[in-house]
Amino acid sequence: EELCNKIAAGEVVERPSSVVKELLENSLDAGASDILVELQSGGKRLIRIADNGSGMHRQDAFLSLERHATSKISSDEDLFALQTLGFRGEALASIASVSRFLLQTCANEDGLGQQIYAEGGAIKRAEEVGLPQGTVIEVRNLFFNLPARRKFLRKEQTELSHVADVVTKQALANPAVSFRMKNNERMLLDLRREKGLRERFAAVLGRSLLKDMLEVEQQGGPDLRLTGLISQPQLNRSAASHIYTFINGRYIRDRVVQHAVMEGYRHLLMKGRYPVVALFLELDPALVDVNVHPTKHEVRFRDQGLVHDFIANALQQTLRPSDW
Ligand code: ADP
Ligand code: MG
């Protein structure tokens, strides 16, 4: 069982940023409106995430550390109809199996919650404690029991920038949620709740970009919709890193979608100029499989051509001057 967890951990957990990604998804699934990420040494020493979400009742808290105990999938069909970000029910178990792990969670307002401490996946202590509603998870010394893996962690700044990237993507996808991130007690990101994407975009990527941003809003049928912000091609921007794409609220980096975005700009792209893009595709969950890879960045569409052309056309129409 523990070996099984460690193997699974290899798939889900690569570095601090993959832990943060899973924990943020859980916090968002739990309906949190306030999320604090605290790191030490870029997450190598400590990752601590506190949310004000639903919290867990005592029994669910214990179950959450068991692999697949909480999986929301019971059939193949379910795989295509996922509504929440998490679905495998193995992230917490995997993370716990390769760290010193503390879970504090409280599901009610009377303030009595559960605290569970585990080392390498084995529960060492558990007790009831007074807590505010929500969940705190601390992950210390990631891979302390897998030295070969620990060796592959990079220097603090590198791990930190990967974590910041993950937080940024979730922040763009969830403007109504406040995100804060600290490293070694220093506040690096302090995003309050915003009305919508424009405000959050400005807070994350810079207000100066906003004046050049065009709003995308296209309906491609009852179950297909594209919204977001796109720029005219910008000078000296790195090609990939400023294209943020999301499907049903989930960050993705998909070949078909990337290609469609470039296709949308085809008539405009000039050497050394690249767009800034934050695009949200919403489609019937039955038409997209997000379960291609555990890190869930790639997807498979039922009708890849349809989605590709819809995105490319939407961008072309948005970028075309109105007097054409
Ligand atoms: P999954 O997200 O795939 O269900 P996880 O291992 O990530 O699996 O989480 C297991 C379960 O623990 C979740 O389904 C959820 O019920 C619960 N859980 C995890 N994190 C939180 C959180 N921050 N707040 C409330 N419940 C949580
Ligand atoms: Mg999860």
CA distance 131 to 188: 26
Do 250 and 166 lie in a common domain? no
Residue that is last in its domain, among 163, 191, 219: 191
Of the pLDDT bands very low, low, confident and very high (cuts 50, 70, 90), residue 185 is very high
Residue at a domain's end among 139, 164, 191: 191
When pLDDT is averaged across residues 109-135 and rounded to a whole number, the result is 96
Residue nearest to atom 27 of ligand 1 (CA): 26
Which is more confident, 242 or 39? 39
In a domain, 198, yes or no: no
Q: What is the mean pLDDT of the chain?
A: 88
Quick: pLDDT tens for 39-85.
Answer: 999 999 999 999 999 999 999 999 999 886 554 445 545 544 445 55
Q: Is pLDDT of 87 > 60?
A: no
Output the domain CATH number for residue 48: 3.30.565.10
Same domain (yes/no): 170, 288: no
Q: Is 135 in the pocket of ligand 1 (CB under 6 A)?
A: yes
**Are residues 181 and 51 part of one domain?**
yes
More confident residue, 71 or 313: 313
Which candidate, 244, 267, 259, places its Cα nearest to that of 305? Answer: 259
Average pLDDT of the residues in 108-117? 92
- Point out the domain boundary residue: 145, 163, 191: 191
* pLDDT at 188 exceeding the cut of 90: yes
The pLDDT of residue 268 is: 82
pLDDT number for residue 164: 97
> What per-residue confidence (pLDDT) applies to 73?
45
Cβ neighbours of 205 (radius 10 Å): 19
Angstrom CA distances, 35 to 24, 170, 171, stand at 8, 11, 10
Instruction: Please give the average per-residue pLDDT across 93-121, as a whole number.
Output: 95
d(CA 313, CA 265): 10
Question: CA 108, CA 165: separation in Å to the nearest integer?
Answer: 32
Least confident stretch, 2-6, 69-73, 99-103, 289-293? 69-73
One domain, residues 138 and 220: no
Which residue CA neighbors atom 11 of ligand 1 most closely?
Answer: 64
Tell me, yes or no, whether 201 lies in a domain.
no
Asked if residue 8 and residue 133 are part of one domain, the reply reads yes
Domain match, 108 and 218 both: no
pLDDT given for residue 323 in this prediction: 52
Whether residue 312 has its Cβ less than 6 Å from ligand 1: no
Q: Domains in the chain: how many in total?
A: 2
**Which atom in ligand 1 lies closest to the alpha carbon of residue 69?**
10
CA distance 84 to 88: 11
Q: Which of 165-169, 243-247, 269-273 has the lowest mean pLDDT?
A: 269-273
Query: For residue 200, is it within any domain?
Result: no
Q: Whose CA is nearest to atom 2 of ligand 1?
A: 86
User: In this structure, are 145 and 72 located in the same domain?
Assistant: yes
What does the pLDDT read at residue 48? 98
Between CA 211 and CA 196 the distance in angstroms is 16
Domain limits at 276? 207-319
Query: From the CA of 155, how far away is ligand 1's center (Å)?
Result: 29
Q: At what angle do helices 156-173 and 16-29 cross, to 10 degrees?
A: 20
The Cα 64–Cα 84 span in angstroms is: 16
ipTM for the complex?
0.99
Max mean pLDDT range (74-83, 97-106, 238-247, 292-301): 97-106
Pair (31, 180) in one structural domain: yes
